[in-house]
Chain A
Amino acid sequence: DAGITQSPRYKITETGRQVTLMCHQTWSHSYMFWYRQDLGHGLRLIYYSAAADITDKGEVPDGYVVSRSKTENFPLTLESATRSQTSVYFCASRVTSSLTGGELFFGEGSRLTVL
Chain B
Amino acid sequence: GQNIDQPTEMTATEGAIVQINCTYQTSGFNGLFWYQQHAGEAPTFLSYNVLDGLEEKGRFSSFLSRSKGYSYLLLKELQMKDSASYLCAVSGAKIKAAGNKLTFGGGTRVLVKP
Taking a contact as CB atoms under 8 Å apart, the answer to whether B48 and A100 are in contact is: yes
Residue of A nearest to B40 (CB): A109
**In the complex with contacts A31-B100, A96-B96, A108-B42, A101-B31 CB distance below 8 A:** yes
Asked if A50 and B42 sit within 8 Å, CB to CB, the answer is no
The reply to whether A102 and B106 form a contact with Cβ atoms under 8 Å apart is: no
Q: Mark A45-87, 1 if CB is under 8 A from B, else 0.
A: 1001010001010110000000000000000000000000000
Across the interface, do A104 and B87 meet the contact criterion of CB distance under 8 Å?
Answer: no
Using A41-B106, A42-B107, A43-B87 as known contacts, say yes or no to A106 and B101 having CB atoms under 8 A apart.
no
One of B33, B43, B48, B91 near A106 (C-beta < 8 A): B43
* A100-B45 CB under 8 A given contacts A42-B104, A58-B101: yes
Contact A42 B105 (CB under 8 A): yes
Judge if A14 is at the interface, Cβ distance under 8 Å: no
Instruction: Convert B18-60 into 0s and 1s, putting 1 for each residue whose CB lies closer than 8 angstroms to a CB of A.
Output: 0000000000001101010000011111001010000000000
Number of residues on chain B facing chain A (CB within 8 A): 26
Task: Please indicate the chain B residues that have their CB under 8 angstroms from the CB of A94 in the complex.
Answer: 100
The number of inter-chain residue pairs (CB within 8 angstroms) is 64
Instruction: Enumerate chain A residues within 8 angstroms of B31, measured Cβ to Cβ.
Output: 101-102
A79 to B31, CA, bound (A): 35
Find chain A residues with CB under 8 A from B103 CB.
45, 59
Residues of chain A within 8 A of B98, CB atoms compared: 50, 54, 56
At the interface, yes or no: B110 with Cβ under 8 Å from chain A? no
| Complex A-B, nearest 5 residue pairs according to Cβ-Cβ distance, in ascending order | A106-B42, A101-B48, A42-B106, A103-B45, A43-B104
Contacts A43-B104, A101-B95 known; list 19 others, CB within 8 Å.
A35-B104, A42-B87, A42-B107, A43-B107, A44-B104, A45-B101, A48-B100, A48-B101, A56-B98, A59-B103, A101-B31, A101-B33, A102-B100, A103-B48, A104-B102, A105-B45, A106-B42, A106-B44, A107-B42
